[in-house]
Amino acid sequence: MIKQKKVRKLNEVTVRFAGDSGDGMQLTGSQFSDTTAFVGNDLSTLPDYPAEIRAPLGTVYGVSGFQLHFGSMDVHTPGDRPDVLVAMNPAAVKKNINELKPGAIIIANSDSFDAKNLKLAKYETNPLEDDSLKGYELFAVPISTLTAKALENTKLSLKDISRSKNFFALGLMYWLYNRPLEPTLDWIKEKFAKKPEFIESNKLALEAGYNFGEMTEAFTTRYDIEPAHLPKGIYRSVAGNEATALGFLAASVKSKLPLFLGSYPITPATEILQYLSTYKNFGVKTMQAEDEIAGITAAIGAAFAGSLAITTTSGPGLALKTEAIGLAVMTELPLVIINVQRGGPSTGLPTKTEQADLLQSLYGRSGESPVAIVAASTPSDCFYMAIEACRLALKYMTPVIFLTDGYIANGSEPWRIPHASEIPEIEVRFAKEIVGFTPYSRDENLARPWAKPGTPGLEHRIGGLEKANITGNVSYDPDNHHKMVNLRAQKIKNMASDIPELEVDGDPEGELLVIGWGGTYGSITEAIIKAREKGYKVSQTHFRYLNPFPKNTFEVLSKFKKVLVPEINLGQLAKVIKSEFLIPVRQLNVVRGLPLRTSEIESKIIELLGGQNNG
């Protein structure tokens, strides 16, 4: 007789799946995330890939992880420290043990804790047996053996049977947190439609893991998390790179312009190219170039020809595109440069996140080369800021740099799919009047005319040499150069009247304002919530527009005695705020290749408020 399990209700939980790259942890995590979104929980994810392409199996360097924070309340981050670790080998325990909460659940594949794997992970003794995990709730489960037993009558090879153990682990986690199997079973049928033997085997492994949780006496408790109260609408789980691609697709439709992407593959931006390449039915043209320079110059050519032109990259690629961005500034063509930031310098940490490139985006070009800069704050926000980057580029005839980062690009969250009517049209005006046409005359936005090449009577020249005002002829006149430099700078400054003002969450003035930009939004927001729950008065504002700043920036910042800027760099926004507004700011800079921890920001807030209850 199976003993009835206790059910414990939770508001939130953080789970981390970890194992070798070949253990399928990213797939396991993404399936658990999709099912969690299906049952209505709010969630945030953090895939964590090895920095090396072929890191040695069984070593700490080769551990691949996927962290998921989900709950019945608003979730803003993938969580600081996991409540549960699913570890497929000793290296996964070794790498993650110091990150776990005290008393966390560890579900370990005991079959992998053999002499070879223990040695690779640099364990002298077996942590499942030596009491080193005494402070945790340890479940040593022979996942490999149980998977092989469940699949012994299938036609799979021993290698394929071994690879199915992640589905056993997934089934066990579905049981533990009361998740349905159906969404994953449907995914298996679609994924392996041409390989029925894999449909059957993965189904058996998934169900075996679920049934093990129900039948074993090791697990006495399962957990229930109620759906979150999200605004009404149709939701789906979306990652930042996919949302970025969909945003550009929407901008193409709303501007009625063909979309062109010229790109060279680079981690963590490559997926944008991969996603957009599947939308040929929308007229999208993608070109995988031979290098970064070819990618952006092809996009500049597409912009000249009248397309909505974009190029994707990360920090090292942005450095290579520098001269061509200057060319786009000089020719005054609409171009969006997407920079999915990663850890640097040089190759740095290609699979890790960092707010590495704000200063490069602002200043990293020869001469006076101003460009607009916008940044997304969450995975779903990538959709809207991609559209906004296109709007600004087209309206003001200028390059726009769109910053995301590795965390929000690879992380996912529930996204309420907007109705097409909720997305405004993007007005595009091509030059048509031959009489009086001059290529560098300007409209009320200081934007020059966009004339498609080959239009009779609108022939003109563009290039990298300085242009004479109005005519666009090559000019070496000193006074003309001074005028053109100022015109291009003023055009960017004018955008301040066309972007939203900063909004303050909390009191509009007071003791402490916490400001952030980009992917730190979730960590800062949760830290603010926790600090307020403890009685501290603290306000928050977040920058999505970084050049120009919103026009009320100084007004907002100057109303607080202290300003705190948490960043995943050594203080790039803080440096700009100081120089632009002469406002002293406090900094919190942690550069670990991971999102900022909520607890770190909360501690800094309490420190700056004197550690006293200001409520």
User: What residue type is 3 in one-letter code?
Assistant: K
The dihedral of CA 540, 545, 548, 551: what is its sign?
A: negative
pLDDT of residue 2: 58
Cα separation of 250 and 268, whole Å?
22
Report whether 576 contacts 529 (CB < 8 A). Answer: no
pLDDT of residue 614: 46
Q: Exposed, middle or buried by CB within 10 Å (0-12, 13-18, 19+), for 14? A: buried
pLDDT of residue 611: 80
Cα separation of 275 and 242, whole Å?
7
Number of H helices, E strands in the chain: 21, 21
pLDDT of residue 52: 75
- Which domains, from first to last, does the chain contain? 6-224 (3.40.920.10), 236-422 (3.40.50.970), 510-608 (3.40.50.920)
Low-confidence residues of the chain, pLDDT below 70? Answer: 1-3, 612-615
Q: Shortest CA distance to 174 belongs to which of 84, 242, 296, 74?
A: 84
To which H or E segment does residue 93 belong?
Answer: helix 90-96
Cα separation of 524 and 564, whole Å?
10
Cα separation of 520 and 567, whole Å?
7
DSSP for 163-192, written as a single string: HTHHHHHHHHHHHHTT--SHHHHHHHHHHT
pLDDT in tens, 325-343: 999 999 999 999 999 999 9
Alpha-carbon separation of residue 166 from 27, 31, 109, 203, 368 (angstroms): 9, 11, 10, 12, 54
pLDDT in tens, 431-450: 999 998 999 999 999 999 99
pLDDT in tens, 350-383: 999 999 999 999 999 999 999 999 999 999 999 9
